Chain A
């Protein structure tokens, strides 16, 4: 039969599981200098939450910087005529992965901040049992001891299920191009004035996507993203942070995958 008439499977977005969210954004085993020097390093004076936010920013910025440096380094031979890295080496895909990973990392950082207890430790996810006294299966036949006093007790998360529902998202895209948009927004962000950073591509020389706006409609538990993409904008993956306009704290990330015309 005519191949055009035959039903085919859609192209897969990916074919493998993501096994490690933390290392998707850097070479395995790479340590940022601050972590290597962890022992004895100066302790930021602020409270745990503020410190967490500060560290989050630092790490995000670090990865943005690293990503751009790598892109810049790779860009030279790629642009040049001889040798070096060619398209067949999959560098654009690797860069795209790097940027997607940045978005993942930022999303996870949001998650961690969202559940950070006053003691500075992220508690278990709300639907998992508290670790206190959960000795696992092998404590049977012996009295489960009280946890040592030095074990920080995670704060119970008693959020009602409906409060954990993600808000609805309306996209108002002004573009004739094919684009894929993903938004990772923290719970309870509706009603908060939100600001969106310019969306950046991994390649330093690619122009940013500017003017993205997020408007919230608390009565509908909905946010609306308005974004205009010029017709001649280069294809690629663009990512940016969503901030609480009042505090400047991150509330989420936006990622736009722009396909070739």
Chain B
């Protein structure tokens, strides 16, 4: 078929997934084959990553966003975007991707000591070679065996650290080294392991370290695994080690933490051998029906390790609490392992990277500008109401079902009929405002006066409706709305297709909460004596804190804040029926305010020992009010009202969980059931099935592949991965 016009692609939802799909489909290499129109609720792109500039140009986020050093796809696209943008460093403070992202190696977990105190465990994660998203970089094809070898290498180093000072690991290792193998050949290696097995155990830690070295070499180099031998060998090592270590570390917090990690690594290796993950074609997916803690317990991890700060942080980072209930931590074991192994062993440059402005400004403004230059269209203020399918009765023989129409509510019309111009300039940097530019909208003054909330699922007011029809207004569709919104906008799909029905029932989402503080007092004066840090694993209602003081210079305060702090956590869910009430969003907003105030009054002192006044309670006077100087304005707890907080309860804002047994119900962007529809979002089956920027970008790239054949699947980093 020859066409006189480009293929019209409707992308619904301008979060990371939708923007990535648009970026791929509008690449110059396609020579204009696809014309993309992005349909977006409200006035800004970003989805869960949207941010806006509020009073004093302060950055207001949906939550806390850190990019991990293994986000290869996300960084790759970001780098390409900035390169294409060619911003002038003389006029724009963030011209290059290196201006936009800054390494963040100082991290921690909140550890609760048996002595009854919260003790942050702080680590400077070493920089690994390279930078994320390096163009042209060939990444290794990781295998389970190689991951386990790396984990054992980590374990050996931990054990060496646990040993008493002055006794280097090999100094007393005669027992093992006496039998030490010529590890130069696979056969000799296996022979040595078999010989050591006959000993039945190791009497010294040094011997265990040597034995671990054997196991590590075996897992890292053998290409066919004699599972029984490896498992027996591992169990002997683990048993010896536990016997040697368990009692010794109880009284020493530092040693206890190291041993907890060691214990977890032993359980992971044992589980991988017992569950034959090295040889399973499903890779880590093979254990996705288990909860991660449950699987670790099954494989010998101690209760203390399973409840350690490290594991808590693992769950916190993925908001992995079913229904937001802190008593129900649940995450699919395979995906949790995949995530942890990728995070720790494949990061480049730094473990975390922080953005030097709001996520909207750093990510979505540059993408918006590049996409505009490439000719993409943007239809803001479009709320998807329904995806209509072709009538089965009218389908030609052999024809697949397809999307026939897309029905939108148009929330507001743009004055003059042109495209809405969404960005504002903040000292040379294109940014997204925290509220729409009412002056661009038809009847904008009235809409503002009446308080229209374009991003709220509870405000259904509209200026009109619009129906897009296949063949006329669009040819292909990328459904890139938030996972929580699928059930509402795809009612026909859910009714007619059991797979879609199973997906919306099994792939659950959860609300989240966050607040931000601008402080007139430095962190040292609040009792935090280390550098800027991110900490997870702390108490509910806010288990994660990040020091974001580096953003102070990006905002426009008369006197810059001396510290900025972001907090976030899961928000316990409410029954579906309650969520329908019009007052629900305001109630949740107030609920988060109360949570934050209680947290500041009662809990934060464990991290910031001097954040309380002499009479107890949080020092409210340290909060900076953009509307008035410190001495004026509301005092006491009321001063918190000048800060920013959010209850992310709208369906589009809810976070997608990776519950055990649920991942197989996800639908892939590559699924071909509907011949003009693909899906994108971190709720899809995209290879890395955990809610994060990288998963969303991967899904967007896969969606582009599904429609155009590019990028090749091999170029979607981490898609083919155990």
Give the interface of A toward B (CB within 8 A).
1, 3-24, 28-32, 34-36, 38-43, 48, 51, 59, 108, 111-112, 119-122, 124-129, 131, 134-146, 148-152, 161, 164
Residue of A nearest to B195 (CB): A39
Most chain-B CB neighbours within 10 Å: which of A127, A136, A140? Answer: A136
Interface residues of B (CB under 8 A from A): 1, 3, 7, 107, 122-126, 128-130, 134, 136-141, 143-144, 150, 153-154, 156-158, 160-161, 168-170, 173, 177, 180, 183-188, 190-191, 193-194, 209-210, 213, 217, 220-227, 229, 254, 257-258, 261, 276, 278-285, 344-346, 351, 395-396, 399-400, 402, 470-471, 475-476, 668, 670-672, 675-678, 687, 706-709, 713, 719-722
**Given A140-B123, A150-B180, is A9 in contact with B672 using a C-beta cutoff of 8 Å?**
yes
Nearest A residue (CB) for B106: A140
For the A-B complex with A137-B107, A137-B125 known, give 12 more contacts whose Cβ atoms are closer than 8 Å: A22-B143, A31-B225, A35-B226, A38-B186, A43-B188, A48-B184, A129-B129, A136-B153, A138-B123, A145-B161, A148-B213, A164-B138
The answer to whether B150 touches A3, judged by C-beta atoms less than 8 angstroms apart, is no
Given contacts A17-B720, A19-B284, A39-B229, contact A125 B140 (CB under 8 A): yes
Interface pair B124/A140, CB less than 8 Å apart: yes
Q: How far is the CA of A21 from the CA of B280 in the complex (A)?
A: 10
**Whole-angstrom distance from the CB of A117 to the nearest CB of chain B?**
11
Q: Tell me, rounded to whole Å, the shortest Cβ–Cβ distance linking B105 to chain A.
A: 9
Measured between beta carbons, the chain A residues less than 8 angstroms from B285 are 19
A23–B278 alpha-carbon span in the complex (Å): 8
Contact present for B254 and A141 (CB under 8 Å): yes
* A43 CA to B278 CA, complexed, in Å: 24
Q: List 25 A–B pairs whose Cβ atoms lie within 8 Å, in order of A's numbering.
A: A6-B470, A7-B7, A10-B707, A11-B672, A17-B713, A17-B720, A19-B284, A20-B144, A22-B143, A29-B276, A40-B190, A43-B185, A43-B187, A43-B188, A124-B140, A127-B129, A128-B130, A134-B128, A136-B154, A137-B126, A139-B161, A143-B161, A144-B157, A148-B170, A148-B210
For residue B138, give the distance in angstroms from its CB to the closest CB of chain A: 7
Question: Hey, which chain B residues are within 8 Å of A22, CB to CB?
Answer: 143, 223, 278-279
User: How many A-B pairs fall under 8 Å by CB?
Assistant: 229
- Evaluate whether A6 and B351 lie within 8 angstroms (CB atoms) in the complex, with A29-B227, A29-B279, A141-B254 already known: no
Residue contact B668 to A150, C-beta cutoff 8 Å:
no
Do A131 and B129 touch across chains, with their CB atoms under 8 A apart? no
Judging by beta carbons under 8 Å apart, are B720 and A18 in contact? yes
Closest to A121 in B: B221
Nearest residue, chain B, Cβ from A136: B154
Partner of B225, one of A35, A138, A152: A35
**A107 to chain B: closest residue by CB:** B141
Complex Cα distance A31/B137, Å?
34
CA distance A148 to B476 in the complex (A): 58
Report the Cα distance A15→B223, complex, angstroms.
27
Q: Which residues of A have CB within 8 Å of B1?
A: 4-5
Given A4-B1, A20-B283, A31-B226, decide whether A150 and B169 contact each other with a Cβ distance below 8 A: no
| In the complex, chain B residues whose CB is within 8 Å of the CB of A19 | 280-285, 720-722
Instruction: Check if B143 sits within 8 Å of A21, measured CB to CB.
Output: yes
Q: Are A135 and B157 in contact (CB-based, < 8 A)? A: yes
Is B280 a contact of A127 with CB atoms below 8 Å? Answer: no
CA distance A58 to B345 in the complex (A): 32
**Inter-subunit contact A39/B279 (CB<8 Å):** no
Residue of A nearest to B397 (CB): A3
User: Which of B190, B223, B280 has its CB near the most chain A CB atoms (within 10 A)?
Assistant: B223
In the complex, the chain B residue whose C-beta lies closest to that of A149 is B170
| In contact, A8 and B676 (Cβ under 8 angstroms) | yes
Complex CA distance for A9 and B396, rounded to whole angstroms: 17
Tell whether, in the assembled complex, residue A150 and residue B678 are in contact, meaning their CB atoms are under 8 Å apart: no
Asked if B475 contacts A39 (CB within 8 A), the reply is no
With A121-B217, A140-B124, A141-B123 in contact, is A135–B154 under 8 Å at CB?
yes
Note all chain A residues with C-beta closer than 8 A to B139: 125, 127
Residue contact A42 to B138, C-beta cutoff 8 Å: no
| A235, B396: Cα distance in complex, Å | 29
* Nearest A-chain residue to B685, judged by Cβ: A16
B134 touches A127 (CB 8 A): yes
B residues less than 8 Å from A17 (CB atoms): 687, 713, 719-721
In this complex, what residue of A is CB-closest to B126?
Answer: A134
Chain A residues, Cβ within 8 Å of B706: 9, 12
Contacts of B254 in A (CB 8 A): 141-142
Enumerate chain A residues within 8 angstroms of B170, measured Cβ to Cβ: 148-150
- Of listed B157, B283, B708, residue having the most chain A CB within 10 A: B157
Q: Which of A29, A134, A137 contacts B123 (CB 8 A)?
A: A137
Sorted nearest first, the 3 A-B pairs with minimum C-beta distance are A19-B283, A140-B123, A135-B157
Closest to A154 in B: B220
Q: Which residues of the other chain, A, contact B707 by a CB distance below 8 angstroms?
A: 9-10
Q: Which residues of B contact A15 (CB under 8 A)?
A: 668, 670-672
B153 near A131: Cβ-Cβ < 8 Å: yes
**From DSSP, what is the main secondary structure of chain A's interface residues?**
loop
* A142 and B161 form a contact (CB under 8 A): yes
Contacts of B187 in A (CB 8 A): 38-39, 41-43
**How far, in whole Å, are A131 and B152 apart by their CA atoms in the complex?**
11
Please pick, from A3, A7, A42, A59, the residue contacting B396 in the complex, using a CB distance under 8 A: A3
Q: How far is the CB of A244 from chain B (nearest CB, A)?
A: 22
CA distance A10 to B670 in the complex (A): 10
Quote the shortest CB–CB distance from A160 to chain B (angstroms).
12
Instruction: Give every chain A residue within 8 A of B400 (Cβ-Cβ).
Output: 8
Given contacts A15-B671, A28-B276, are A39 and B150 in contact (CB under 8 A)?
no
Least CB distance from A179 to B in Å reads: 17
Closest to B157 in A: A135
CB distance A140 to B122 under 8 Å?
Answer: yes
Q: How far apart are B280's CB and chain A's nearest CB, in angstroms?
A: 5
**Shortest distance between the CB of A56 and any CB in chain B (Å):** 9
Q: A21-B143, A124-B140, A149-B170 are in contact. Are A7 and B476 (CB under 8 A)?
A: yes
Smallest distance from the beta carbon of A22 to chain B beta carbons, Å?
Answer: 6
Q: Are A127 and B720 in touch, CB under 8 angstroms? A: no
Q: A129 to nearest B CB, angstroms?
A: 4
For A18, what are the chain B residues with a Cβ–Cβ distance below 8 Å?
720
Compute how far the CA of A143 lies from the CA of B169 in the bound complex, rounded to whole angstroms.
Answer: 13
Contact: A1 with B276, CB < 8 Å?
Answer: no
A191 to B187, CA, bound (A): 36
Interchain nearest-CB distance for B127 vs A (Å)? 9
From known contacts A12-B706, A35-B224, infer whether A51 and B185 are also in contact, taking CB-CB under 8 Å: yes
List the A residue with the shortest CB-CB distance to B153: A131
* Nearest-Cβ distance from residue B237 to partner chain A, whole angstroms: 15
How long is the Cα–Cα vector from A122 to B222 in the complex, in angstroms?
A: 10
Q: Which of B130, B157, B226, B283 contacts A39 (CB 8 A)?
A: B226
Q: Are B280 and A23 in contact (CB under 8 A)?
A: yes
Please indicate the chain B residues that have their CB under 8 angstroms from the CB of A137 in the complex: 107, 123, 125-126, 344, 351
A51 to chain B, nearest CB (A): 7
In the complex, chain A residues whose CB is within 8 Å of the CB of B134: 127
Bound state CA distance, A119 and B185, in angstroms?
Answer: 9
A172 CA to B676 CA, complexed, in Å:
35
Q: Give the CA-CA distance A120 to B183 in the complex, in Å.
A: 9
In the assembled complex, which residues on chain B have CB atoms less than 8 Å from the CB atom of A108? 141
User: What's the least CB distance linking A133 to chain B, in Å?
Assistant: 8
Which residues from A are CB-within-8-Å of B153?
Answer: 131, 134-136
Known A-B contacts A9-B678, A43-B185, A122-B221; the reply to A38 vs B169 at CB < 8 A is no
Q: Are A129 and B128 in contact (CB under 8 A)?
A: yes
Whole-angstrom CA separation of A134 from B173 in the bound complex: 22
Q: How far is the CB of A31 from chain B (nearest CB, A)?
A: 6
Contact among B210, B284, B676, B708 with A150 in the assembled complex (CB-CB below 8 Å): B210
Return B605 CB to nearest CB of chain A, in Å: 24
Q: A8-B676, A22-B223, A108-B141 are in contact. Are A136 and B344 (CB under 8 A)?
A: yes
**Contacts A9-B672, A39-B191, A136-B154 known; A161 to B344 CB distance under 8 Å?**
no
> Inside 8 A of A139's CB, which chain B residues have their CB?
126, 157-158, 161
Name the distance in Å between A90's Cβ and chain B's nearest Cβ. 15
CA distance A228 to B706 in the complex (A): 32
